[in-house]
Amino acid sequence: MIIGPKYKICRRLGSGVFDQCQTQKFMASEGKKSPKASKGPRKQLSEYGMQLNEKQKIRFSYGISEKQLSNYVETATTTKGAIASEKLYELLETRLDNVIYRSGLAVTRRLARQMASHGHFLVNGVKTNVPSYHLSIGDKISVKEGSKSSVLFQNTDKKLEKFNVPAWLSLNADKLEVEVRGVPKKDDAFLDFNTVLEFYSR
């Protein structure tokens, strides 16, 4: 997915959108005001503008297309007995590429997508190269035996020893395996899923 200059997007939507923006380099660049920035405060966004920004935050954070997000929203809002915002979060978090990222097997979601699409992982023992593959409780993700010698996984087991995975995942650093043990629960305020649902309900 082509997204444009990451720093520019982070200045507009917030540093939490990309891992590259959560660095000292980005913070330093923020301190250098451009001529445009000195012309005065930005205009306050309309309700529609705020909803659009929140939608873009989710798209860029998870690296998904407009069509993919729209499909996730439709599934979340039509799932019986589910709170739509919580279901949407669950659907995004349980993508194969995101679980690879959350477990520490990849340092960014973008790298996790590449690694998944190149077939480096098995899901329940079966090679899976679809980054958007939906995982369920009990599913086990492991690095393919032939990929463990790749530079991508050099010293990964040692790096993972101190890595804190979310409570809904279980990581075996020695075997480079991760298991989905529960349902992800949102615990940060950066992404506003309710606002995104309002955008799609217009």
Q: Is the pTM of this model over 0.85?
A: no
For residue 31, pLDDT over 60 is answered with: no
Clarify whether residues 124 and 154 are in a common domain. yes
Report which DSSP code applies to 181: -
CATH code for the domain of 57: 1.10.1050.10
Q: How many domains does the chain have?
A: 2
Would strands 140-143 and 121-123 be described as parallel, antiparallel, or unpaired? Answer: antiparallel
Clarify whether residues 80 and 143 are in a common domain. no
Which are the contacts of 2, defined by CB distance < 8 A and separation ≥ 6? Answer: none
Clarify whether residues 83 and 120 are in a common domain. no
Clarify whether residues 79 and 118 are in a common domain. no
Mean pLDDT, rounded, of the chain = 86
For residue 60, being part of any structural domain is answered with yes
**Bridge partners (DSSP) listed for residue 126:** 123
- Estimate the crossing angle of helix 84-93 against helix 66-78, to 10 degrees: 130
For residue 116, being part of any structural domain is answered with yes
Q: Of 104, 103, 98, 100, give the one whose Cα is nearest residue 68.
A: 98
139 against 60, higher pLDDT: 139
For residue 58, being part of any structural domain is answered with yes
Q: Give the CA dihedral 43, 44, 48, 49, nearest 10 degrees.
A: 50
Sheet with 169-172, side-by-side order of all strands: 126-127, 121-123, 140-143, 177-180, 169-172
User: Of the given ranges (51-55, 74-78, 124-128), which has the lowest mean pLDDT?
Assistant: 51-55
CATH code for the domain of 125: 3.10.290.10
- Estimate the crossing angle of helix 66-78 against helix 193-200, to 10 degrees: 100
12: containing domain? 6-33+43-91+190-200
Mean pLDDT for 56-83 is: 95
User: Of the given ranges (31-40, 125-134, 154-163), which has the lowest mean pLDDT?
Assistant: 31-40
First to last CA, the chain: 25
Main-chain dihedrals φ then ψ at residue 147, nearest 5 degrees: -95, -15
| Whole-number pLDDT of residue 162 | 83
For residue 1, being part of any structural domain is answered with no
Clarify whether residues 12 and 82 are in a common domain. yes
Q: Which pLDDT tens digit goes with each residue over 105-136?
A: 999 999 999 999 999 999 999 999 999 999 99
For residue 38, pLDDT over 50 is answered with: no
For residue 38, being part of any structural domain is answered with no
| Whole-number pLDDT of residue 45 | 75
Longest dimension (CA), the chain: 58
For residue 2, pLDDT over 80 is answered with: no
User: Of the given ranges (60-74, 136-150, 188-202), which has the lowest mean pLDDT?
Assistant: 188-202
Clarify whether residues 13 and 76 are in a common domain. yes
Token pair, residue 69, equals 């997000």
pLDDT category at 49 given cuts 50, 70, 90 is confident
